[in-house]
């Protein structure tokens, strides 16, 4: 039986926040996700820029254009390959 995503008490999927990272290109966001989630299928495996539900965190990630939203979710630990990412800057 597949692990189900977390839902609110009303049975509706709940938005929990935005990752504290902004990328120059969608491709960069996908590479960042893929590098930090090797247990998961690539973020853009279905050409939708949406990940599968993570069985560990029970979260799904979606690549979106940044429009100044408050970023509340800590980014994954930065590596040498994350040069295309501006963490915690809102840039």
Q: What is the pLDDT of residue 27?
A: 95
Q: Residue 75's closest CA among 64, 62, 88?
A: 88
CA distances 11 to 1, 6, 7, 42, 82, Å, are: 19, 9, 5, 27, 36
- Quick check: 42 pLDDT over 90? yes
Give the start-to-end residue ranges of the domains of the chain: 15-91
- Quick check: 82 pLDDT over 70? no
Cα–Cα distance measured from residue 18 to residue 63, given in angstroms and rounded to the nearest whole number: 10
Q: What is the pTM of this model?
A: 0.70
């Amino acid at each position: 039986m597949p692990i189900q995503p977390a839902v609110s008490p009303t049975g509706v999927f709940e938005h929990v926040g935005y990752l504290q990272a902004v990328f120059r290109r969608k491709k960069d966001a996908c590479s960042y996700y893929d590098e930090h989630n090797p247990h998961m299928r690539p973020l853009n495996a279905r050409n939708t820029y949406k990940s599968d539900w993570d069985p560990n965190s029970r979260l799904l990630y979606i690549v979106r254009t940044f429009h100044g939203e408050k970023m509340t979710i800590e980014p994954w630990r930065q590596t040498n390959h994350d040069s295309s990412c501006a963490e915690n800057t809102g840039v």
